[in-house]
Chains A and B, each alone.
Chain A
């Protein structure tokens, strides 16, 4: 990415554009606003050769930082994160229906500082791979090695009216939305509840269906009359091998499933969603998950389009030898989940340490374990194992069970403990 282009990206936003403005662009046209002045200065002194900068303190970024700290004791590790705290994504769903308190899902980055990882609260707006520099809202930082672990970007701009009227929607794919969804769920008086699912891929593929099941249960328990509808852009519930299981769960609960309904507009004034076929879906409560995309800085820095193009074993960028990409923002054969993100961070740290000259054993290949909620008392089970090169080795799934519900709780707290020590 050239400096000029990078500056275009900083502050690049859709804010202020009308629906007609957005419908005006063929997809060749860049989606960024005007150039900003070049005010950036370096905020840290020049690196000593072992400076590793991490963009994004989510599951993979923190896991990478912790692992590298152990493997490379004298490396200078800097974590750049735009949010003041870590919030566990899987808990969003629990919180939205009152199964968990928010404070149980929040962790401070302080334990990382104690280990000697420098944590800077700042937003990264551009990467200059040729100059080994990242441009942040606080200034520029030069690196020797870089990890990009920015997660998913929600493409509100692909749902008409949503950027202009964010309050038309509340969903648990972001923290703010989760808090608002909880408020709306609590005060809901009854009627039609629509869960709108984007086209795959999206992070946590079972998530929207879990949300539908838990909302249905919540309203039933509360005695609120609610018709829960899943309007899915896909032809079947995701991930595809779980389709049959989800439909069986929906049938038992009386949740209405509507495949092939890609929502392109939220018309909040009339309480309706509009599909690409022009059909209207009325709602009294809506939770619409916008299309999941990668951060635009990945494309603008030439790391991949739209996701970071990395080797599935080492997570090293296919273009730049000192850059790694892990988790939801990377193009890999692995599921977009907290569990795989955690292990991707771990494995990438091994290869980063090897690259820095440390003698380190090769890590084990990636696997995923997930316990999607069918209700507040039962979870399904999915386990997938991949070979070192990303080829799927084996996969299993099981019907909803109480045991798996308990395993889910242990699963998340173990992950959080591994990341933050508590």
Chain B
């Protein structure tokens, strides 16, 4: 009986240790992450950090050059994020992508089958396509949302009660070149909101999320693919 109890206790301790190890692994801070995606799969790499960090995303050739020179030149960089989702589609062949977080980040990777995902979209499900939470510095700050599709659902949420707008490139240029004020554009534009903004992308054009804040603000955005968006290519 004693033996059984000991065995049972050992088993419980083992299971507890294992589950903590798994949890630790999911929550452990990493500085480099290699993500391998098998053909016909898509990986969604979710990156989180308690404080705003910069991430550099590289394919093998860019990573090799980074290893040689330490330079991140040529890599895709994402600035001041606390949460980020990056999809890696591997429709044609296996893909390997490296993520460099010099200040450390937590990585969580979910794999999906490309065909299953397309099937679900065509059946009418809305599926998360991309997302980020980033710190926007005080004053006017912006981020470019690219590779949009008509009808893509875009949701933006600010941590403070501040004006948010989504602009096309020429309006954005008018703002950044000082030809129009933030207020002037805000009053005349269509895609705008206070604290939050939710809309369907009108077309394929890039959109700039522009906000104005007094102390800086955290902005979270998510884009959702749906059947209509899938009909314009994924």
Which residues of A are at the interface with B, using a C-beta cutoff of 8 A?
A: 20, 22-28, 157-158, 160, 199-201, 233-236, 240-245, 247-248, 250-251, 256-260, 262, 264, 276, 278, 291, 305-307, 312, 331-335, 382, 384, 389-392, 395-397
Contact = CB atoms under 8 A, between A and B. Distances in A.
Interface in B71-98: 74-77, 89-93, 95-96
Give chain B's interface residue range (CB within 8 Å of chain A).
Answer: 35 or more
B189 A28 contact: yes
Contacts of B26: none
B166 to A, nearest CB: 10
B177 A240 contact: no
Contact of B95 (A23, A28, A244): A244
B61 A23 contact: no
B77 A260 contact: yes
30 contacts: A22-B170, A23-B171, A24-B174, A25-B170, A199-B146, A199-B205, A233-B206, A235-B76, A236-B76, A241-B92, A244-B59, A247-B60, A247-B61, A257-B62, A259-B74, A259-B75, A260-B76, A260-B77, A264-B173, A305-B150, A305-B202, A307-B203, A307-B232, A312-B231, A331-B150, A332-B233, A333-B232, A334-B233, A384-B91, A391-B118
B29 to A, nearest CB: 24
B161 to A, nearest CB: 24
B179 A236 contact: no
B190 interface: yes
A260 B60 CA distance: 18
A236 B203 contact: no
B114 interface: yes
B179 A158 contact: no
Contacts of B174: 23-24
A28 B91 contact: no
Nearest to A20: B179
B51 interface: no
B147 interface: yes
A20 B115 CA distance: 47
Given A26-B171, A158-B169, A158-B170, A332 B189 contact: no
B169 A244 contact: no
B168 A27 contact: yes
Contacts of A251: 61, 64-65
Contact of B188 (A28, A243, A250, A389): A28
Given A26-B189, A248-B61, A241 B90 contact: yes
B208 to A, nearest CB: 8
Given A24-B174, A27-B170, A199 B147 contact: yes
A395 B177 CA distance: 44
B224 interface: no
Contacts of B183: none
Given A24-B174, A262-B144, A392-B115, A305 B203 contact: yes
B122 interface: yes
Contacts of A332: 231-233
Contacts of A260: 76-77
Contacts of B89: 240-241
B190 A28 contact: yes
A260 B233 CA distance: 21
B59 A23 contact: no
A311 B170 CA distance: 32
B57 to A, nearest CB: 7
A234 B147 CA distance: 8
A288 B74 CA distance: 19
